[in-house]
Amino acid sequence: MHTDPDYSVAYVVIETDSDSAVKGYGLTFTVGRGTEIVVCAVKALSALVVGKTLKEIVSDFRGFYRLLSSDGQMRWIGPEKGVIQLAIAAILNAVWDLWARVEGKPLWKLLVDMDPAKLVSCIDFRYITDALTEQEALDILVKAKTGQKNREEQMLKEGYPAYTTSCAWLGYSDQQLTQLCSDALAQGWTKFKVKVGADLQDDIRRCSLIRKMIGPNNTLMIDANQRWDVNEAITWVTKLAEFHPLWIEEPTSPDDILGHASISKALAPLGIGVATGEQCHNRVMFKQFLQASALQFVQIDSCRVGSVNENLAIILMAAKFNVPVCPHAGGVGLCELVQHLILFDYISVSASLNNRMCEYVDHLHEHFKSPTIIRNAQYMPPKDPGYSCEMLEDSVQKHLYPQGEVWRAIEQQGKQ
């Protein structure tokens, strides 16, 4: 579906005039053209941010979220969806990074240590109280306090389960698939995702190859990246059922809630769930997906919805509906960010690892000051203060559009 991606980010830095001159770093992921539109939206929203104190923001974080998401004029180009929501995500990711740095904690630890009532006060419950009330959210968090310290120690020791998407992209030769899969198995990976949807016979061949390599006891998932209509998805996935995939990811339009429900119902007898969420606009859509039993795996994204604030609402709704959260990651920085959210989910909300895992793609981590650490196919909890958003200054300057040396080199090649 996204055939020529040029992985990019809109990168936000919030500067302060505090004695320590601490900064907050945030981003939202894009795939190339259009990033400049997100940057325009960030600049348009900046007037609502500049001049505020961190204390002022976090003392009424719900109000600040609503200030950005419900501006009387800019709301018209949303509301809470598309470019404006991506911009809000980048800004709020920077605010959360700043807050965690000031507290001297990694973001996951800031959330885990936060008083449940304070945490709930960061969430905008507008439009979702028919699925989750403030009191229900508070009750979930209070109940999960039991065993929380043990789970935190477990994560620090063992890490959070990850799955790999790096082995089976469309276009890889059988030799490349075999080599990558063999390498991953040797490194301890047990959960593998295969991209599908371009050609059925090719999918059957590739899924057969991967299943034979990983064996019957390791986990296989398939991802169509929105390629099919509803009935086509049901027919196609039914023909791949012999390979026992745990889920089919993004089988159709990310906006088609009832379509996903139909697919879920049709595939349930085959033991195949539906996973989606990486391009789900906001908490309201997740609410409807959950109410309609349209997904069996919630795939939050750290940059698609309204940052931590909105993801907290989604994580808590998923807990109420007893649907596992398995985040989307990869891209630029998505692994670095979303690891904090899934650690919080396990330690402070779901208290379960059953059918739960976080996506991992092994690329572009070298551009981050606190890159993701994977050990034995597990995300090891970050220890540096913040939200792991800060990029290396050298990487920023080299890749800054359009004046960075990478872009100047491309321009020179074009002239030649």
Active site residues: 195, 328
For residue 278, give the nearest of 231, 227, 326 by alpha carbon: 326
Strand blocks (E) in 98-154: none
Strand residue runs (E) in 196-261 = 219-223, 247-249
Total residues found in the chain within this entry: 416
Asked whether 91 and 52 are in contact (CB, 8 A), the reply is: no
Strand 374-375 versus strand 219-223 pairing type: unpaired
Distances (CA, A) of 364 to 330, 333, 367, 403, 408: 9, 8, 6, 20, 20
Dihedral, CA of residue 87, residue 310, residue 350 and residue 116, to nearest 10: 120
What is the rounded CA–CA span in Å between residue 203 and residue 88? 38
**Distance between CA atoms of 352 and 215, rounded to whole angstroms?**
25
Rounded to whole angstroms, what are the CA distances from 384 to 26, 298, 321, 369? Answer: 15, 27, 33, 10
Give 336's contacts (C-beta < 8 A, 6+ positions apart): 365, 368, 370, 371, 372, 382, 388, 389
Report which residue type is found at 67: L
Contact 12, 39 (CB under 8 A): no
